Protein backbone atom coordinates (compact mmCIF):
# COMPACT_ATOMS: atom_id res chain seq x y z
CA UNK A 1 0.00 0.00 0.00
CA UNK A 2 1.33 3.44 -0.98
CA UNK A 3 2.14 5.69 1.98
CA UNK A 4 0.66 9.21 2.08
CA UNK A 5 4.12 10.74 1.91
CA UNK A 6 4.90 8.91 -1.32
CA UNK A 7 2.04 10.60 -3.19
CA UNK A 8 2.82 13.54 -5.42
CA UNK A 9 0.73 16.69 -5.03
CA UNK A 10 -1.72 16.02 -7.86
CA UNK A 11 -2.33 12.44 -6.72
CA UNK A 12 -2.79 13.56 -3.12
CA UNK A 13 -5.26 16.26 -4.17
CA UNK A 14 -7.29 13.62 -6.04
CA UNK A 15 -7.25 11.27 -3.04
CA UNK A 16 -8.55 14.09 -0.83
CA UNK A 17 -11.37 14.86 -3.25
CA UNK A 18 -12.44 11.23 -3.36
CA UNK A 19 -12.42 10.99 0.42
CA UNK A 20 -9.68 8.36 0.49
CA UNK A 21 -8.03 10.41 3.24
CA UNK A 22 -8.65 13.69 5.03
CA UNK A 23 -6.70 16.92 5.11
CA UNK A 24 -6.36 16.53 8.87
CA UNK A 25 -4.88 13.04 8.58
CA UNK A 26 -2.50 14.23 5.85
CA UNK A 27 -1.39 17.16 7.99
CA UNK A 28 -0.82 15.07 11.12
CA UNK A 29 1.25 12.64 9.06
CA UNK A 30 3.19 15.60 7.65
CA UNK A 31 3.80 17.18 11.05
CA UNK A 32 5.02 13.90 12.51
CA UNK A 33 7.55 13.56 9.70
CA UNK A 34 8.50 17.23 9.92
CA UNK A 35 9.29 16.83 13.62
CA UNK A 36 11.10 13.50 13.17
CA UNK A 37 12.93 13.94 9.85
CA UNK A 38 12.98 17.72 9.48
CA UNK A 39 15.83 18.38 11.96
CA UNK A 40 17.98 15.67 10.38
CA UNK A 41 17.83 17.30 6.95
CA UNK A 42 17.54 20.91 8.16
CA UNK A 43 14.24 21.44 6.37
CA UNK A 44 12.36 23.89 8.59
CA UNK A 45 13.06 26.99 10.64
CA UNK A 46 9.49 27.29 11.96
CA UNK A 47 6.63 24.82 12.21
CA UNK A 48 3.10 26.25 12.34
CA UNK A 49 0.91 23.38 13.60
CA UNK A 50 -1.92 25.55 14.96
CA UNK A 51 -2.25 27.57 11.76
CA UNK A 52 -2.03 24.43 9.63
CA UNK A 53 -4.60 22.52 11.71
CA UNK A 54 -7.10 25.32 11.28
CA UNK A 55 -6.51 25.29 7.53
CA UNK A 56 -6.82 21.49 7.39
CA UNK A 57 -10.12 21.51 9.32
CA UNK A 58 -11.50 24.15 6.95
CA UNK A 59 -10.36 22.06 3.98
CA UNK A 60 -12.07 18.96 5.37
CA UNK A 61 -15.32 20.90 5.83
CA UNK A 62 -15.16 22.17 2.25
CA UNK A 63 -14.33 18.72 0.90
CA UNK A 64 -17.18 17.08 2.78
CA UNK A 65 -19.69 19.69 1.60
CA UNK A 66 -18.51 19.38 -2.01
CA UNK A 67 -18.78 15.59 -1.94
CA UNK A 68 -22.33 15.86 -0.61
CA UNK A 69 -23.25 18.34 -3.34
CA UNK A 70 -21.34 16.54 -6.09
CA UNK A 71 -19.36 19.73 -6.75
CA UNK A 72 -15.78 18.64 -6.08
CA UNK A 73 -14.71 19.92 -9.52
CA UNK A 74 -15.32 23.47 -8.25
CA UNK A 75 -12.93 23.09 -5.32
CA UNK A 76 -9.50 24.77 -5.26
CA UNK A 77 -7.06 22.50 -7.10
CA UNK A 78 -4.85 21.60 -4.12
CA UNK A 79 -7.31 21.70 -1.25
CA UNK A 80 -5.71 20.05 1.79
CA UNK A 81 -2.24 19.53 0.24
CA UNK A 82 0.61 20.58 2.57
CA UNK A 83 2.99 23.18 1.15
CA UNK A 84 5.55 25.10 3.27
CA UNK A 85 6.77 28.60 2.43
CA UNK A 86 10.41 29.60 2.13
CA UNK A 87 11.51 31.91 4.93
CA UNK A 88 12.34 34.74 2.54
CA UNK A 89 8.63 35.25 1.91
CA UNK A 90 6.12 36.91 4.24
CA UNK A 91 3.31 34.98 5.92
CA UNK A 92 1.17 37.18 8.13
CA UNK A 93 1.74 36.55 11.83
CA UNK A 94 4.52 33.99 11.32
CA UNK A 95 8.07 35.00 12.33
CA UNK A 96 10.47 35.52 9.42
CA UNK A 97 14.23 35.85 9.85
CA UNK A 98 15.29 35.37 6.20
CA UNK A 99 18.06 33.12 7.50
CA UNK A 100 19.63 35.95 9.51
CA UNK A 101 20.22 36.64 13.17
CA UNK A 102 20.03 40.34 12.24
CA UNK A 103 16.35 40.03 11.32
CA UNK A 104 15.14 37.85 14.18
CA UNK A 105 11.93 39.10 15.73
CA UNK A 106 10.32 40.35 12.52
CA UNK A 107 6.70 39.22 12.21
CA UNK A 108 5.14 40.18 8.86
CA UNK A 109 1.79 41.94 8.98
CA UNK A 110 0.66 40.63 5.58
CA UNK A 111 0.97 37.65 3.26
CA UNK A 112 3.12 38.07 0.19
CA UNK A 113 1.19 37.75 -3.06
CA UNK A 114 2.41 34.25 -3.85
CA UNK A 115 1.35 33.09 -0.38
CA UNK A 116 -2.16 34.38 -1.07
CA UNK A 117 -2.24 32.50 -4.39
CA UNK A 118 -1.05 29.27 -2.80
CA UNK A 119 -3.55 29.61 0.03
CA UNK A 120 -6.36 30.32 -2.45
CA UNK A 121 -5.35 27.11 -4.24
CA UNK A 122 -6.21 25.26 -1.03
CA UNK A 123 -2.76 24.42 0.28
CA UNK A 124 -2.08 23.98 3.98
CA UNK A 125 1.07 25.61 5.38
CA UNK A 126 2.89 23.39 7.92
CA UNK A 127 5.80 25.80 8.33
CA UNK A 128 8.59 27.99 6.94
CA UNK A 129 11.59 26.35 5.27
CA UNK A 130 15.26 26.94 5.90
CA UNK A 131 17.24 29.40 3.77
CA UNK A 132 20.74 30.90 3.94
CA UNK A 133 21.08 34.49 5.06
CA UNK A 134 19.01 36.69 2.71
CA UNK A 135 19.05 33.82 0.20
CA UNK A 136 22.49 34.85 -1.04
CA UNK A 137 24.69 31.70 -1.34
CA UNK A 138 24.01 28.37 -3.11
CA UNK A 139 24.33 26.47 0.17
CA UNK A 140 21.93 26.61 3.12
CA UNK A 141 24.09 26.96 6.22
CA UNK A 142 22.66 29.91 8.19
CA UNK A 143 23.71 30.93 11.67
CA UNK A 144 20.09 30.67 12.86
CA UNK A 145 19.36 27.05 11.90
CA UNK A 146 21.08 23.73 11.17
CA UNK A 147 22.38 23.26 7.62
CA UNK A 148 20.01 21.86 5.01
CA UNK A 149 21.25 18.45 3.88
CA UNK A 150 20.38 16.30 0.92
CA UNK A 151 18.59 13.14 2.12
CA UNK A 152 20.63 11.15 -0.39
CA UNK A 153 23.79 11.77 1.70
CA UNK A 154 23.60 13.65 5.00
CA UNK A 155 27.23 14.73 4.77
CA UNK A 156 26.34 16.86 1.74
CA UNK A 157 24.44 20.11 1.33
CA UNK A 158 20.93 20.38 -0.09
CA UNK A 159 22.13 23.48 -1.91
CA UNK A 160 20.51 26.87 -1.77
CA UNK A 161 18.98 29.13 -1.40
CA UNK A 162 15.79 27.03 -1.38
CA UNK A 163 17.71 24.30 0.45
CA UNK A 164 15.22 23.69 3.25
CA UNK A 165 12.38 23.48 0.74
CA UNK A 166 14.27 20.90 -1.30
CA UNK A 167 15.17 18.88 1.80
CA UNK A 168 11.50 18.83 2.85
CA UNK A 169 10.30 17.56 -0.54
CA UNK A 170 13.14 15.14 -1.24
CA UNK A 171 12.82 13.49 2.19
CA UNK A 172 9.09 13.11 1.52
CA UNK A 173 7.88 15.31 4.34
CA UNK A 174 5.78 17.27 1.84
CA UNK A 175 5.05 16.70 -1.86
CA UNK A 176 5.75 20.30 -2.86
CA UNK A 177 7.38 23.40 -1.37
CA UNK A 178 7.54 27.05 -2.32
CA UNK A 179 10.87 28.60 -3.26
CA UNK A 180 12.37 31.35 -5.37
CA UNK A 181 15.33 31.71 -7.69
CA UNK A 182 17.54 34.77 -8.16
CA UNK A 183 20.68 33.04 -9.41
CA UNK A 184 19.74 29.36 -9.41
CA UNK A 185 18.07 29.01 -6.01
CA UNK A 186 15.39 26.56 -7.19
CA UNK A 187 17.48 24.68 -9.74
CA UNK A 188 20.59 24.25 -7.56
CA UNK A 189 18.78 22.42 -4.71
CA UNK A 190 16.70 20.51 -7.25
CA UNK A 191 19.93 19.09 -8.65
CA UNK A 192 21.41 18.19 -5.26
CA UNK A 193 18.23 16.48 -4.01
CA UNK A 194 16.81 14.80 -7.13
CA UNK A 195 13.84 17.10 -7.73
CA UNK A 196 12.25 19.20 -10.45
CA UNK A 197 12.99 22.92 -10.09
CA UNK A 198 11.63 25.44 -12.61
CA UNK A 199 12.56 29.11 -12.68
CA UNK A 200 9.73 30.63 -14.73
CA UNK A 201 10.19 33.36 -17.30
CA UNK A 202 10.73 36.87 -15.95
CA UNK A 203 7.29 38.39 -15.45
CA UNK A 204 5.43 35.09 -15.45
CA UNK A 205 4.76 35.25 -11.70
CA UNK A 206 4.00 38.62 -10.14
CA UNK A 207 5.93 39.89 -7.12
CA UNK A 208 3.03 42.15 -6.12
CA UNK A 209 1.21 43.57 -4.38
CA UNK A 210 3.63 44.00 -1.45
CA UNK A 211 6.98 43.37 -3.15
CA UNK A 212 8.62 44.46 -6.39
CA UNK A 213 10.95 42.55 -8.67
CA UNK A 214 13.70 45.19 -8.93
CA UNK A 215 15.93 44.44 -11.92
CA UNK A 216 14.10 41.15 -12.48
CA UNK A 217 16.70 38.57 -11.51
CA UNK A 218 14.44 36.50 -9.24
CA UNK A 219 11.29 34.46 -9.78
CA UNK A 220 8.95 32.55 -7.48
CA UNK A 221 8.27 28.85 -8.07
CA UNK A 222 8.09 25.46 -6.40
CA UNK A 223 10.15 22.32 -5.88
CA UNK A 224 8.40 19.04 -6.68
CA UNK A 225 9.09 15.41 -7.50
CA UNK A 226 7.33 15.46 -10.90
CA UNK A 227 7.11 17.75 -13.91
CA UNK A 228 3.30 17.64 -13.83
CA UNK A 229 3.22 18.94 -10.25
CA UNK A 230 5.55 21.77 -11.25
CA UNK A 231 3.31 22.64 -14.19
CA UNK A 232 0.14 22.54 -12.10
CA UNK A 233 1.61 24.95 -9.57
CA UNK A 234 2.74 27.28 -12.34
CA UNK A 235 -0.94 27.42 -13.28
CA UNK A 236 -1.60 28.57 -9.71
CA UNK A 237 1.21 31.14 -9.61
CA UNK A 238 1.20 32.54 -13.16
CA UNK A 239 -0.87 35.61 -12.28
CA UNK A 240 -0.05 39.18 -13.21
CA UNK A 241 -1.16 42.14 -11.11
CA UNK A 242 -1.79 45.78 -12.00
CA UNK A 243 1.46 47.71 -12.16
CA UNK A 244 3.80 44.77 -12.68
CA UNK A 245 7.09 45.97 -14.17
CA UNK A 246 7.59 42.78 -16.16
CA UNK A 247 4.95 40.67 -17.91
CA UNK A 248 6.17 37.55 -19.71
CA UNK A 249 5.10 36.98 -23.30
CA UNK A 250 3.27 33.86 -24.38
CA UNK A 251 1.54 31.91 -21.66
CA UNK A 252 0.26 28.38 -21.40
CA UNK A 253 -0.21 28.23 -25.19
CA UNK A 254 -2.77 26.25 -27.17
CA UNK A 255 -3.07 23.62 -24.43
CA UNK A 256 -4.73 26.23 -22.22
CA UNK A 257 -2.88 25.35 -19.01
CA UNK A 258 0.70 24.49 -18.14
CA UNK A 259 -0.50 21.15 -16.79
CA UNK A 260 -2.20 20.35 -20.10
CA UNK A 261 1.00 21.34 -21.91
CA UNK A 262 2.64 18.32 -20.28
CA UNK A 263 0.38 16.08 -22.40
CA UNK A 264 1.45 17.78 -25.64
CA UNK A 265 4.17 15.95 -27.56
CA UNK A 266 6.56 18.72 -28.58
CA UNK A 267 7.49 19.11 -32.20
CA UNK A 268 11.07 18.10 -33.05
CA UNK A 269 13.15 20.73 -31.31
CA UNK A 270 16.58 22.18 -31.94
CA UNK A 271 18.53 21.58 -28.75
CA UNK A 272 21.89 23.18 -28.12
CA UNK A 273 24.32 21.46 -25.76
CA UNK A 274 26.86 23.41 -23.72
CA UNK A 275 29.13 21.83 -21.12
CA UNK A 276 31.84 24.52 -21.07
CA UNK A 277 31.54 26.65 -17.91
CA UNK A 278 30.39 30.18 -18.70
CA UNK A 279 30.58 32.52 -15.70
CA UNK A 280 33.70 30.87 -14.24
CA UNK A 281 36.00 29.61 -16.96
CA UNK A 282 38.30 28.00 -14.38
CA UNK A 283 35.52 25.73 -13.07
CA UNK A 284 36.17 21.98 -13.21
CA UNK A 285 33.19 19.88 -14.26
CA UNK A 286 32.70 16.55 -12.50
CA UNK A 287 32.53 13.60 -14.93
CA UNK A 288 29.15 12.61 -13.43
CA UNK A 289 27.73 15.97 -14.52
CA UNK A 290 29.02 15.44 -18.05
CA UNK A 291 27.67 11.90 -18.08
CA UNK A 292 24.23 13.21 -17.06
CA UNK A 293 24.24 15.54 -20.06
CA UNK A 294 25.33 12.69 -22.34
CA UNK A 295 22.41 10.63 -21.04
CA UNK A 296 20.00 13.51 -21.69
CA UNK A 297 21.40 13.92 -25.21
CA UNK A 298 20.78 10.22 -25.91
CA UNK A 299 17.20 10.57 -24.71
CA UNK A 300 16.62 13.68 -26.82
CA UNK A 301 18.05 12.00 -29.89
CA UNK A 302 15.82 8.95 -29.31
CA UNK A 303 12.79 11.24 -29.01
CA UNK A 304 13.52 12.80 -32.40
CA UNK A 305 15.04 16.13 -31.39
CA UNK A 306 18.01 17.63 -33.25
CA UNK A 307 20.99 18.11 -30.94
CA UNK A 308 24.03 20.26 -31.72
CA UNK A 309 26.78 22.03 -29.82
CA UNK A 310 25.84 25.48 -28.48
CA UNK A 311 28.41 28.27 -28.19
CA UNK A 312 29.49 29.98 -24.98
CA UNK A 313 27.23 33.05 -25.18
CA UNK A 314 29.56 35.61 -23.58
CA UNK A 315 33.04 35.80 -22.03
CA UNK A 316 33.24 35.18 -18.29
CA UNK A 317 34.39 38.73 -17.52
CA UNK A 318 31.11 40.13 -18.87
CA UNK A 319 29.28 38.39 -16.01
CA UNK A 320 30.42 41.24 -13.75
CA UNK A 321 27.01 42.85 -14.28
CA UNK A 322 25.41 40.08 -12.22
CA UNK A 323 27.99 40.40 -9.44
CA UNK A 324 27.40 44.15 -9.17
CA UNK A 325 23.62 43.76 -9.11
CA UNK A 326 23.89 40.92 -6.57
CA UNK A 327 26.00 42.98 -4.17
CA UNK A 328 23.68 45.99 -4.39
CA UNK A 329 20.77 43.64 -3.83
CA UNK A 330 22.44 42.39 -0.65
CA UNK A 331 22.97 46.00 0.46
CA UNK A 332 19.31 46.84 -0.12
CA UNK A 333 18.10 44.31 2.45
CA UNK A 334 16.45 46.14 5.38
CA UNK A 335 19.06 45.32 8.02
CA UNK A 336 19.04 47.60 11.09
CA UNK A 337 22.31 49.51 11.44
CA UNK A 338 22.95 48.15 14.91
CA UNK A 339 22.49 44.57 13.64
CA UNK A 340 25.11 44.68 10.88
CA UNK A 341 27.63 42.76 12.98
CA UNK A 342 25.14 39.91 13.35
CA UNK A 343 25.40 39.20 9.61
CA UNK A 344 27.62 36.45 8.24
CA UNK A 345 31.00 37.46 6.84
CA UNK A 346 29.78 36.70 3.29
CA UNK A 347 26.78 39.01 3.65
CA UNK A 348 28.88 41.79 5.19
CA UNK A 349 31.39 41.46 2.35
CA UNK A 350 28.66 41.59 -0.29
CA UNK A 351 27.07 44.64 1.34
CA UNK A 352 30.45 46.35 1.55
CA UNK A 353 30.97 45.60 -2.13
CA UNK A 354 27.52 47.03 -2.82
CA UNK A 355 28.46 50.28 -1.05
CA UNK A 356 31.40 50.63 -3.43
CA UNK A 357 29.12 50.70 -6.47
CA UNK A 358 28.37 54.26 -7.55
CA UNK A 359 25.14 55.22 -9.22
CA UNK A 360 26.97 55.21 -12.54
CA UNK A 361 28.40 51.73 -11.94
CA UNK A 362 24.96 50.40 -11.03
CA UNK A 363 23.44 51.95 -14.15
CA UNK A 364 26.21 50.38 -16.21
CA UNK A 365 25.49 47.00 -14.58
CA UNK A 366 21.82 47.25 -15.54
CA UNK A 367 22.86 48.13 -19.09
CA UNK A 368 25.36 45.25 -19.00
CA UNK A 369 22.59 42.87 -18.03
CA UNK A 370 20.57 44.07 -21.02
CA UNK A 371 23.53 43.67 -23.35
CA UNK A 372 24.11 40.13 -22.06
CA UNK A 373 20.47 39.37 -22.79
CA UNK A 374 21.04 40.49 -26.38
CA UNK A 375 24.27 38.49 -26.65
CA UNK A 376 22.66 35.30 -25.37
CA UNK A 377 19.70 35.73 -27.71
CA UNK A 378 22.04 36.10 -30.68
CA UNK A 379 24.36 33.27 -29.66
CA UNK A 380 21.52 30.82 -29.00
CA UNK A 381 19.11 31.96 -31.71
CA UNK A 382 19.46 28.65 -33.58
CA UNK A 383 18.08 26.67 -30.62
CA UNK A 384 14.66 26.23 -29.03
CA UNK A 385 16.28 24.94 -25.84
CA UNK A 386 19.83 24.81 -24.49
CA UNK A 387 20.98 21.86 -22.37
CA UNK A 388 23.74 22.20 -19.75
CA UNK A 389 24.63 20.52 -16.49
CA UNK A 390 22.77 22.22 -13.66
CA UNK A 391 25.91 22.29 -11.52
CA UNK A 392 29.59 21.69 -12.18
CA UNK A 393 29.95 19.42 -9.16
CA UNK A 394 28.12 16.82 -7.10
CA UNK A 395 26.35 18.07 -3.95
CA UNK A 396 28.96 19.89 -1.88
CA UNK A 397 29.97 18.53 1.53
CA UNK A 398 28.40 20.61 4.28
CA UNK A 399 30.81 23.36 5.28
CA UNK A 400 33.08 22.93 2.28
CA UNK A 401 32.04 26.11 0.48
CA UNK A 402 31.21 28.53 3.29
CA UNK A 403 34.44 30.33 4.16
CA UNK A 404 34.00 32.96 6.85
CA UNK A 405 37.73 33.75 6.80
CA UNK A 406 37.67 34.57 3.07
CA UNK A 407 34.20 35.66 1.87
CA UNK A 408 35.60 36.75 -1.50
CA UNK A 409 36.97 33.23 -1.95
CA UNK A 410 33.62 31.86 -0.82
CA UNK A 411 31.87 33.86 -3.56
CA UNK A 412 34.39 32.74 -6.17
CA UNK A 413 33.81 29.10 -5.18
CA UNK A 414 30.09 29.67 -5.63
CA UNK A 415 30.62 30.75 -9.25
CA UNK A 416 32.68 27.63 -9.94
CA UNK A 417 29.92 25.48 -8.45
CA UNK A 418 27.19 27.19 -10.50
CA UNK A 419 28.74 28.33 -13.79
CA UNK A 420 25.47 28.19 -15.79
CA UNK A 421 22.42 28.87 -13.61
CA UNK A 422 22.53 32.68 -13.42
CA UNK A 423 22.40 33.06 -17.22
CA UNK A 424 18.64 32.46 -17.08
CA UNK A 425 18.26 35.02 -14.29
CA UNK A 426 20.15 37.68 -16.23
CA UNK A 427 18.19 37.06 -19.43
CA UNK A 428 14.80 36.26 -17.89
CA UNK A 429 14.56 32.92 -19.67
CA UNK A 430 12.68 29.95 -18.21
CA UNK A 431 15.02 27.25 -16.96
CA UNK A 432 14.42 23.88 -15.32
CA UNK A 433 16.60 21.31 -13.56
CA UNK A 434 15.59 17.68 -14.05
CA UNK A 435 17.02 14.69 -12.11
CA UNK A 436 18.07 12.72 -15.17
CA UNK A 437 21.57 11.86 -13.96
CA UNK A 438 22.87 9.72 -11.10
CA UNK A 439 26.38 9.31 -9.71
CA UNK A 440 26.45 5.67 -8.78
CA UNK A 441 27.93 4.81 -5.39
CA UNK A 442 29.03 8.39 -4.77
CA UNK A 443 27.26 8.81 -1.43
CA UNK A 444 29.19 8.19 1.78
CA UNK A 445 28.39 5.51 4.33
CA UNK A 446 28.60 1.74 4.42
CA UNK A 447 26.00 1.23 1.71
CA UNK A 448 27.45 3.81 -0.66
CA UNK A 449 24.39 4.80 -2.64
CA UNK A 450 23.75 7.01 -5.62
CA UNK A 451 23.62 10.80 -5.75
CA UNK A 452 21.24 12.74 -8.00
CA UNK A 453 22.75 14.87 -10.76
CA UNK A 454 20.56 17.47 -12.43
CA UNK A 455 20.62 18.57 -16.03
CA UNK A 456 19.29 21.98 -16.97
CA UNK A 457 17.11 22.98 -19.91
CA UNK A 458 16.82 26.69 -20.68
CA UNK A 459 14.26 27.97 -23.16
CA UNK A 460 13.41 31.20 -24.88
CA UNK A 461 11.73 33.96 -22.88
CA UNK A 462 8.04 33.10 -22.58
CA UNK A 463 8.42 29.46 -23.67
CA UNK A 464 7.58 27.99 -20.25
CA UNK A 465 4.90 25.72 -21.74
CA UNK A 466 7.28 24.28 -24.35
CA UNK A 467 9.93 23.72 -21.69
CA UNK A 468 7.43 21.83 -19.52
CA UNK A 469 6.24 19.76 -22.48
CA UNK A 470 9.81 18.71 -23.25
CA UNK A 471 10.51 18.04 -19.56
CA UNK A 472 7.42 15.83 -19.29
CA UNK A 473 8.50 13.94 -22.39
CA UNK A 474 11.93 13.31 -20.87
CA UNK A 475 10.41 12.21 -17.57
CA UNK A 476 8.20 9.72 -19.40
CA UNK A 477 11.22 8.40 -21.30
CA UNK A 478 13.31 7.95 -18.16
CA UNK A 479 11.18 8.15 -14.96
CA UNK A 480 12.93 9.01 -11.73
CA UNK A 481 10.21 8.91 -9.07
CA UNK A 482 10.83 5.27 -8.13
CA UNK A 483 14.18 6.25 -6.62
CA UNK A 484 13.94 6.90 -2.89
CA UNK A 485 16.64 8.59 -0.78
CA UNK A 486 18.27 6.97 2.22
CA UNK A 487 16.56 9.39 4.62
CA UNK A 488 12.79 9.71 4.55
* DSSP output for 63-110: HHHHHHHT-GGGS-TTTT-B--EETTS--TTS---TT-GGGTT---SS
Catalytic residue among 86, 206, 422, 431: 86
Residues whose CB is less than 8 angstroms from the CB of residue 19 and which lie 6 or more positions away in sequence, other chains included: 63, 67
Show the DSSP H helices in 303-358 as ranges: 320-331, 345-355
Q: Is there a catalytic annotation at residue 185?
A: yes
- Name the packing angle between helices 9-18 and 23-36 (round to 10°): 140
Nearest to 25 by CA among 34, 16, 13: 16
| Integer Cα distance of 37 and 183 in angstroms | 28
Rama region for 253: left / alpha / beta (φ>0; ψ in -120 to 50; rest): left
Q: Is there a catalytic annotation at residue 161?
A: yes
DSSP percent split of the chain into helix, strand, coil, nearest 5: 40, 15, 45
380, 247 Cβ separation under 8 angstroms: no
Catalytic residue among 97, 157, 161, 327: 161
377, 243 Cβ separation under 8 angstroms: no
308 beta partners: 272
How many Cβ atoms sit within 10 Å of the Cβ of residue 409? 11
| Integer Cα distance of 335 and 330 in angstroms | 10
Catalytic residue among 97, 100, 171, 185: 185
| Integer Cα distance of 252 and 250 in angstroms | 7
Identify the H or E element spanning 314. Answer: none
What positions carry a catalytic annotation? 86, 161, 185
Amino acid sequence: MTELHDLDALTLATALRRGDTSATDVLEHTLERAERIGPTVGAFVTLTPDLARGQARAADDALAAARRDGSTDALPPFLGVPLPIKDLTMVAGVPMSAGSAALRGFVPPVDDGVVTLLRDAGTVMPGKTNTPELGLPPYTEPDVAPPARTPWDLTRSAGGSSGGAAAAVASRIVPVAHGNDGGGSLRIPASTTGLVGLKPSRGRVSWGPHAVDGVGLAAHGVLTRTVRDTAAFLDVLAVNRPGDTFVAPGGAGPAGTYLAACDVVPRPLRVGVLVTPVIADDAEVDPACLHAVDHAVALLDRLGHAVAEAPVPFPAEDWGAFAALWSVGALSAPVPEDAELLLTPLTRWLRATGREQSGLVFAQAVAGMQRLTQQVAAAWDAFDVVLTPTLAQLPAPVGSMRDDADPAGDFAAQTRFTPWTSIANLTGRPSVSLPLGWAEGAATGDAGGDLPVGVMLTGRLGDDALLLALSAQLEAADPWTSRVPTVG
